[in-house]
Each structure stands twice: as structure tokens, then as C-alpha cells.
Structure 1
Amino acid sequence: MPIVFRKRKKIGPIILNFTENGFSSWSIKIGRWSWNSKAKAHRYDLPGPVSWRSKKG
């Protein structure tokens, strides 16, 4: 199992995601709702350890 480098930089509601190769994707999170540029999917955090995610494109 290789070790993977990941880093997240949060600027307000915008989150920038980096890997060992550099910039990976960006996300926006407002309250319980979020959207990721790489997955192009909406996610809504539900109570407890559950979340709802829309299907890709």
C-alpha cells in the first residue's frame, strides 16, 4: 500500500485540493451542501455518518 500525499487549502467556502503532482481539484462547501470540480457531483451531509450524493454529469 503506497503512501499518497494530499493537502487541502481552505479559503472561505472554497477548498483547493493538491496531490503529489500538484493541483488536483477545487470544491465549494456552503453549510451541508458541497460540490467538487473533479467529481462534478453535488453532496449533501445528512445527520450522522450519512451523506447523499448526486450521480455524475
Structure 2
Amino acid sequence: MPLIFRKRKKFGPLILNFTENGFSSWSIKVGRWSWNSRARAHRVDLPGPLSWRQRRRSRD
């Protein structure tokens, strides 16, 4: 099992994600709501270990 390097830098609500190859993606988090540029998914943190996610709609 190889080791994976990951690093996150936070600048207020903006989060930059890095891997061993460099910049990976960015996210924005405001309260319980967040959005990720790579997954293009909205996520809302719910009470306890639950969360709700709406993925990007596929284009036909």
C-alpha cells in the first residue's frame, strides 16, 4: 500500500487542495454548505455523521 501525500490550505472559506503532483482542486465552505471544483458537487453537513450531496447533472 503506497503512501499518498495530501495537503490543504485554508484562506477563510476558500480551501486549496494539493497532492504530490501539485494543485488538485479548490473548495468553498460556508457554514454547513460546501462546493468542490473537482467533484462539482454541493454538500450539506447534517447533524451527527450524516451529510447530503447533490452531484453535477450529466449532460446527454
TM-score in same-fold range (> 0.5): yes
Q: Give the TM-score range, shorter chain.
A: over 0.9
Instruction: Give the whole-Å Cα distance in 2 for the aligned partners of 1:27 and 1:33.
Output: 11
Q: Which residue does the alignment assign to 2:44?
A: 44
Q: Which residue does the alignment assign to 1:4?
A: 4
In the TM superposition, what whole-angstrom CA distance separates every residue of 1:12-31 from its partner, at most 9, and x where no partner exists? Answer: 00000000000000000000
Work out which of the two has the higher radius of gyration on C-alpha atoms and give 1 or 2.
Answer: 2
5+ residue gaps, structure 1: none
- TM-score, scaled to structure 2: 0.91
Residue 32 of structure 1 aligns with an amino acid whose one-letter code is R
Q: Which residue does the alignment assign to 2:13?
A: 13
Aligned residue pairs total 57
Percent identity between the aligned chains?
Answer: 77
Instruction: Give the whole-Å Cα distance in 2 for the aligned partners of 1:2 and 1:8.
Output: 20
Large movers: runs of 4+ above 2 Å:
none
5+ residue gaps, structure 2: none
Task: Report the Cα offset of residue 36 of structure 1.
Answer: 0.1
Instruction: Give the whole-Å Cα distance in 2 for the aligned partners of 1:37 and 1:2.
Output: 26
